[in-house]
A and B are shown apart, each in its own frame.
Chain A
Amino acid sequence: MKQFWKVLTNGLSLENPLTVLMIGLCSTLAVSTKLEGSLFMGIAVIFVLAMSNLLISAIRRFTPDEVRIPIFIVVIASFVTIVDLVLKGYFPSVYSFLGVWIPLIVVNCIVLGRAEAYAYHNGVLLSIADGIGMGLGYTLIISALGAFRELFGSGKLVFLGNTLINFGPSYRGPNILLLFPGAFLLFGLVVAASQAINHRLITRKDVM
């Protein structure tokens, strides 16, 4: 059981899919203009990752090697479509914001990457842990980015209808943050910061 938690937290920090492995960037940079949207995206990714890892590791003995990619892809695509339909039907406002990025979870490098690298070789329980861990790591970063960009880009933070923080109409913040280039620049600085922190951690460890 202890290993379950170890694998779970591994996705959060050591092998965080975004800042460390640098995969799954497409949706992160595009969707993180709103906290609400990013959170729903994160939850969708966690659901898809956990469920597909579960199913893929459950049937890994019956999947012949030559056709393992098509089988993985059909499994993942089905879970993504379920999320797509549920969102379209029951959360139309979130769907209109995320609309385009839900189907792209299928080709999101995290999902297929983890399925092939981890789920295909490990037990069901560990695969679920890995799926949820990776998903949480993804959600953490994308929500942080979403909150930052929405707040400083458009001056107010709206979550499920109620405005949490509002800088007032006179706010003339850098709304490039809401545009695509802004996302690139911001993410570059975020990675630089995490590299600088890791670097300091490593040097301090040697010194001690």
Chain B
Amino acid sequence: MRDNIYIRLGVPVLVVCIVAAAGLAITWSFTADKIEAQARAAEQRSLKIVLPEAADFVPVTDAGILGKAGAAAGDVAVAGIFVANDQSGSALGVGILVASRGYGGPMHLAIGVDRNGKVAGVTIVSMAETPGLGSKVVDDPTFLPRFFGLDSAEAAHKVDTITGATKSSRGVRKGVEAALAAYKAIGGVEGVSVR
């Protein structure tokens, strides 16, 4: 009696699981590289915006550096650090990708910091803010430039928020502060551009 019930119930469930898992694995293998490509393309596009002069971006994979950056950034998560090189190959700045708390959810930002530690550009990779309200941080052309040229987390903190989108703009501000703190923690361009 014991194994009868296990087999009677087990076989159909097992068959369905196997077919489902195989099907999904196959779909995944088709779309995996496509998704990967999309993510890389989005990243490169944002980095290009924040550091226009750079030709290519070399991701930093050294765990020590990433660890220091992460610690400095506090409760903002550092998603990636890239060394930006110009045509001649010499590093001209660092691109930092962070995820900070917005109103509707996490906001993924890209911040470019040039050789002497000044913010070269800020852009929003993706966010979940409410259209029409939170999205003001993107629509309002004057907001992001306010961070350009700042070189310390304290300076970034003084930038005031937009009315009607306080939380979203506070999210962006926290992102920039974290990026600057991380930049200092990893010792600026020199500390990172190990050839």
Given a CB threshold of 8 Å, the question of whether A touches B is answered with yes
For residue B126, which residues in chain A have a CB less than 8 angstroms away from its CB? 96
Alpha-carbon separation in the docked complex, A77 to B27 (Å): 14
Q: Does B20 contact A (CB under 8 A)?
A: yes
For residue A179, which residues in chain B have a CB less than 8 angstroms away from its CB? 130, 133
Q: Does B1 contact A (CB under 8 A)?
A: no
Interface-side segment among A7-15, A40-48, A85-93, A197-205: A85-93
Alpha-carbon separation in the docked complex, A169 to B8 (Å): 65
The secondary structure that dominates the B interface is helix
- Asked whether, in the complex, the Cβ of A78 is within 8 Å of the Cβ of B131, the reply is no
For residue B13, which residues in chain A have a CB less than 8 angstroms away from its CB? 67, 70-71, 74
Size bin of chain B's contact surface: 20 to 34
- Asked whether, in the complex, the Cβ of A82 is within 8 Å of the Cβ of B27, the reply is yes
For residue B55, which residues in chain A have a CB less than 8 angstroms away from its CB? none
Q: Does A64 contact B (CB under 8 A)?
A: yes
Q: A96-B126, A154-B132 are in contact. Are A85 and B27 (CB under 8 A)?
A: yes
Among A33, A92, A150, find the residue whose CB has the most chain B CB atoms closer than 10 A. A92
Partner of B9, one of A64, A150, A178: A64
Give the contacts of B1-59 with A (CB-CB under 8 A).
8-9, 12-13, 16-17, 20, 23-24, 27-28, 30-31, 34-35, 38, 42
- Asked whether, in the complex, the Cβ of A90 is within 8 Å of the Cβ of B34, the reply is yes
The smallest C-beta distance from A173 to any residue of chain B, in angstroms, reads 9
- Asked whether, in the complex, the Cβ of A64 is within 8 Å of the Cβ of B12, the reply is yes
Task: Mark each residue of chain A from 57 to 80: 1 if its CB lies under 8 Å from any CB of chain B, else 0.
Answer: 001001110110011001101100
Sample of 9 more A-B contacts, CB < 8 Å, known A59-B16, A90-B31, A179-B133: A71-B16, A75-B20, A78-B23, A85-B35, A88-B35, A88-B38, A89-B34, A150-B131, A178-B130
